[in-house]
Amino acid sequence: MTDTTTASTNGRALGAPVRNRYFYGKLLDVHQLEMEQRYGLEKSRLVNRLTLGSGVLCGLRVRPGGGGQVLVSPGVAVDGLGREIVVTEQVTIDVAALARQEPSPAAAGDALVLCLGYHECDVEPAPVLVVDCDLRQECVPGAVRERFSFTLMDPADAPLPEDPCGVFGAGTTDTTGSSPIMKARLTAALNRLSAEPAVGEETHPGRVGPGAGAGNNLRRQLCETFHPSCGPGSACVPIALLRAGEDRVVVDECLPRRTIYSNAVLLDLILCLAARVDECCNPKVTVTAPKVLDTWPAPEQDVKLAEFETRLHLPAGGFAISFDRELNADRLAAPEEWLRVLLIPVSERHDVFRLPLELDRTDAKTLADGTGQTAYYRVGDGTAADPHAIPALLAKLKAQEALVLVMARSDDVTQIVAADDAELLDADFHGTRLTNEVFDLLWNLAASAASAAIAGALAASLSSPPTPMPQLPSGNGIEGGIFHAAFKITG
């Protein structure tokens, strides 16, 4: 009798399905009928393991019983080979006795993973009418009953579920504190941004609301870091973690098991999550949220080093930003939370420096002496001798010019709010050609110098302003958003 549990792939990741082809007068012998069954089983199991995955579909609750036993309720699971496992009745398991059946019995008190497996039982014996070379028995099973079995595994060997957020990990960091994966993505994105647009292609991003583009960025990050295997998984479906003592068993069924939820349940969970998101951070259409009225240096402005002293009274360099109303003082005093200033010197070296910012002072009027508030930020400790001061930095790099990128955000990542905490800053202003993806990647750059590839690509993208160039004040009528603009220091 051919073993129907063995797929035609013979353990390989994928195999070409073979489907029976009928014609008039064809002899339907054992081989042909088994081919018919095998085709349906293989296609069903392929879809199961690649679409559903391995895990528990329903039931299979594990509860401690008396005398070192555990009770497993009826339920259904799918193993790593895509086979459905149906447990039709409650099962009582003697943990100690099951452990003794393992090749390497565990010591008392060791943690063990209870695994559910697929098992076939031959049933319905029938006499053999025709005996051939492959089948010499006078009586053989006429059917296969799909059942189950239980085994115990060491947690180190069991196919336990991984951290679902692990695909978004930063990975190994280099000396700049930035992920090599992130830097490679940023360089590629900037190079795409610096390329000449195709005929009819939009050369500047559209409106960006709070958290806009996050879905596309997560989709790209998931695509670049997580690649599902086509191969079969483990035949073990972990359903509980056990620790057996002399007369009792401690059970944790949630830690080791992966549950496969139905589409209806997943939809309910998504709707519930959406409601929770709306409660905590739902953006609202508003005309009263604070806006950015003006900055110095202004977007696309060319300034000289001496002007930082004459215009801002900040000889080491700095930045001023005006709002149409008073903002939260604590947030203004913590600019690293919502404001970034990146400097790209034009020199033989290609580096990106994130300048450290400190609040120097606030003024109860705008840069144009209008109604509102202006926050003045200095670089470093505010002295020209500070190594982070713009004049000292350019002198060290022997650079006469530099591009400066200013980024601010008030969205689902970090916020700057009005003084009464009523509304987020309506920060939407896109004074460069940066896309949402590049903005997010640059935001997470380490404070120290980045790679030459990033600097060169970023400088090229900042040298081409969007067309048409937007005008302040910021805002798109929706609370929150992101702000980016660039200016040039000419010496």
Instruction: Kindly state whether residue 87 falls inside one of the protein's structural domains.
Output: yes
pLDDT of residue 181: 56
The span from the CA of 187 to the CA of 189, in Å, is 5
Q: Do 57 and 137 have their domain in common?
A: yes
Instruction: Kindly state whether residue 33 falls inside one of the protein's structural domains.
Output: no
pLDDT of residue 54: 92
CA distances from 16 to 10, 22, 38, 79 (A): 11, 19, 12, 21
Burial of 12 (0-12, 13-18, 19+ CB in 10 A): exposed
Instruction: Kindly state whether residue 310 falls inside one of the protein's structural domains.
Output: yes
Sheet with 91-94, edge to edge strand ranges: 62-64, 69-72, 91-94
Nearest by Cα to 419 from 295, 479, 332: 332
Which of the listed residues 282, 316, 340 is the one where a domain comes to its end? Answer: 282
- By the 8 A CB rule, do 396 and 306 touch? no
Instruction: Kindly state whether residue 484 falls inside one of the protein's structural domains.
Output: yes
pLDDT of residue 131: 65
End-to-end CA distance of the chain: 87
Instruction: Kindly state whether residue 187 falls inside one of the protein's structural domains.
Output: no
Which of the listed residues 264, 282, 300 is the one where a domain comes to its end? Answer: 282
Q: Do 375 and 261 have their domain in common?
A: no
Pairing of β 75-78 and β 84-87 = antiparallel
Residues of the domain holding 338 = 292-489
The span from the CA of 401 to the CA of 344, in Å, is 9
Instruction: Kindly state whether residue 90 falls inside one of the protein's structural domains.
Output: yes
Nearest by Cα to 247 from 110, 92, 94, 61: 94
Q: Do 269 and 136 have their domain in common?
A: yes
Burial of 219 (0-12, 13-18, 19+ CB in 10 A): exposed
Q: Do 470 and 419 have their domain in common?
A: yes
* Lookup: tokens for 191: 């190079």
The span from the CA of 229 to the CA of 202, in Å, is 37
Q: Do 145 and 255 have their domain in common?
A: yes
Instruction: Kindly state whether residue 369 falls inside one of the protein's structural domains.
Output: yes
Report yes or no on whether pTM surpasses 0.85. no
One digit per residue, the tens of pLDDT, for the chain of length 491 reads: 444 444 445 445 788 899 989 999 998 888 899 999 999 999 999 999 889 889 999 999 999 988 889 999 999 999 999 999 999 999 999 988 888 887 766 666 678 899 999 999 999 888 877 666 666 667 888 899 999 999 999 888 888 887 666 555 544 444 334 455 556 667 666 766 666 554 444 444 433 333 444 455 567 667 777 778 888 889 999 999 998 776 788 888 888 889 999 999 999 988 888 777 766 666 667 778 999 999 999 999 999 999 999 999 998 999 999 999 999 999 999 998 899 999 988 877 668 888 999 999 999 999 999 999 999 999 977 776 777 788 888 888 888 899 999 999 988 778 888 998 888 999 999 999 888 888 888 888 765 545 666 777 788 888 888 888 999 999 988 888 999 999 999 87
Which of the listed residues 224, 251, 282 is the one where a domain comes to its end? Answer: 282
Q: Do 102 and 251 have their domain in common?
A: yes
Q: Do 351 and 436 have their domain in common?
A: yes
* Residues 275-310: b if buried by 16+ CB within 10 A, e if exposed: eeeeeeeebeeeeebbbbbbbbbebeeebebeebee
Instruction: Kindly state whether residue 123 falls inside one of the protein's structural domains.
Output: yes
Cα-Cα-Cα-Cα torsion 137, 142, 143, 144, nearest 10 degrees, comes to 0
Beta-bridge mates of residue 86: 76
Q: Do 428 and 385 have their domain in common?
A: yes
pLDDT of residue 380: 79
The span from the CA of 226 to the CA of 168, in Å, is 9
Q: Do 313 and 440 have their domain in common?
A: yes
- The number of folded domains in the chain is 2
| Radius of gyration in angstroms for the set of CA atoms belonging to the chain, rounded to a whole number | 33
Q: Do 239 and 327 have their domain in common?
A: no
Nearest by Cα to 353 from 394, 409, 414, 398: 394
Q: Do 455 and 352 have their domain in common?
A: yes
CA distances from 89 to 59, 74, 82, 239, 248 (A): 11, 5, 22, 16, 23
Burial of 238 (0-12, 13-18, 19+ CB in 10 A): buried
CA distances from 350 to 175, 183, 277, 317, 455 (A): 16, 15, 41, 20, 5
Q: Do 299 and 271 have their domain in common?
A: no
